[in-house]
Structure 1
């Protein structure tokens, strides 16, 4: 009666998914060989997430009382892209694997080898919001509310790409149910990438979208950002109990993972933003 994946372990290789969305074979041009070139799903997730965020925000700023205009938004997207990539990479280096990169600093720029931190990327985006807002003379906090509303789209796509890559798998399920990932041993494991895609991607996107379009939340600076901080932090904290800890760190002496500890300031900041947003008077539409 139940689908196979709810009744028994599934071998990941039988799903026939590949990290590459498509590959251009090697070819000869002007006497030189070029390629092969591959576009990976993970890269495509970043591209689609940023493009999708711009598309949605373009429509959001048409609402009365929007904090910035189309030109300012177009300029900001460049800042945000740099913030996501630069902050995500530096966050991974500092939080998860500092010894490796201290030994060989040139490894930091090898983005194609993987290694990105959401928390670092989040800091990069926040910095981009306030810096661009300061230079362009508009409210960085209100821009952050718009960014927070659309960010779950990119998060969900990124977690789906993690699953397709067969990486960041979950802990053993302890039963016959789960997915057997190629590089994770013979035990069935939780598909924690899909849990994260559903919670911090799908569910959080729905909640924030409904708040923006069907309530006055967009007129209370910091409210949407606060909901995002609490929603993402709580989702990540819960899923970390099912996700395999980073090999180089494991479970810390506190009993938590690094991912869980890094969500605590985010939850606290989210709660503070919500309180401030509700105490202050709303802006005029």
Structure 2
């Protein structure tokens, strides 16, 4: 083993097996992210001053919204992985699309699925769509944090070779080469740091200018993910899409970077559109146009 390598902590990806059923850390991460986000969202909707009089979901509506989002994340995440990361393989073996227990989820697909689910929910309940996007964006980093920790426990999505980095890890399926623990980098950047940035924005701005918080999240995630991609080994079936060897950090452009670009653009567009609107003072009742934003 190289001098600076840290042995991978062999944590069984299966927490417990009950008959034919296995409870995995990855599934638990999804549950923890959804439940943690739901609890935090309940606290946020209780803060009347944050909303400036805008219509916001009740606690009961948040319960229903959780179900919508859960289905959207799982279906969108799986479909995104199938389409963008391994389409040829699934085209050859289409039944494998449904074998979600074997892994294979895309954050960008899950985000799209969650956005569609929130839009449908908002339309069905007469709630402002952008305000629900803002609320979801505030709690999303919780799920990102737990998801990346689960990636590390599973020993998947490891980083690029880093033989001279003291904290490099030798992953069981990554060969004998010590690698960046890029899953932990992403848990820190996309989870903890982004959570802090969005939380501060909510503290300062509230949800009184719909679309702002969602835009900040979109820009923040796109930047954090793109930076972390420089340390993450690209998916073997894709490799670098182009520009291999051009970057000062090595490698080239990955699918994660490409999929983050539309999110960056959408985030900037939301921020600019929100700035063109009017911020509601604390406690002010919204006009008809504000309520439908």
Fold match (TM-score > 0.5): yes
Cα-to-partner distance string for 1:148-182 (whole Å, 9 max, x where unaligned): 00000010000001001111000001426310111
Distance 1:58 1:175, change over 3 A: same
Match of 1:224 in 2: 213
Partner of 1:9: 5
TM-score (norm 2): 0.87
Q: Cα RMSD between the aligned structures?
A: 1.6
Q: Distance in 1 between matches of 2:242 and 2:182?
A: 23
Show the counterpart of 1:81: 70
Aligned counterpart in structure 2 of residue 69 of structure 1, from 58, 70, 95: 58
Quick check: 1:129–1:141 contact (8 Å CA) kept in 2?
no
Q: C-alpha deviations, 1:233-254, integer Å up to 9, x for none?
A: 0010001010000000000125
How big is the shift at 1:22? Answer: 2.9
Question: Aligned runs of 1:15-54 on 2, under 5 Å?
Answer: 15-24=9-18, 35-54=19-38
Where does residue 42 of structure 2 map in the other structure?
Answer: 58
1:185-264 mapped onto 2 (5 Å cutoff): 185-212=175-202, 214-254=203-243, 255-264=252-261
Question: What is the CA distance between 1:104 and its match in structure 2?
Answer: 1.8
- When the two structures are superposed, what TM-score results if normalisation uses the length of structure 1? 0.90
Q: 5+ residue gaps in structure 2?
A: 244-251, 284-293
When the two structures are aligned, how many residues end up with a matched partner?
A: 267
Unaligned runs of 5+ in 1: 1-6, 25-34
SS at 1:143 equivalent: helix
Misfit runs of 4+, over 4 Å: none
SS state of the match for residue 46, structure 2? Answer: coil
- Asked whether the 8 Å contact 1:172–1:187 carries over to 2, the reply is yes
Q: Distance in 1 between matches of 2:77 and 2:91?
A: 17
Please state whether the residue corresponding to 1:280 is helix, strand or coil: coil
- Cα distance, 1:277 vs structure 2: 1.2
CA–CA distance in 2 between the matches of 1:208 and 1:116?
24
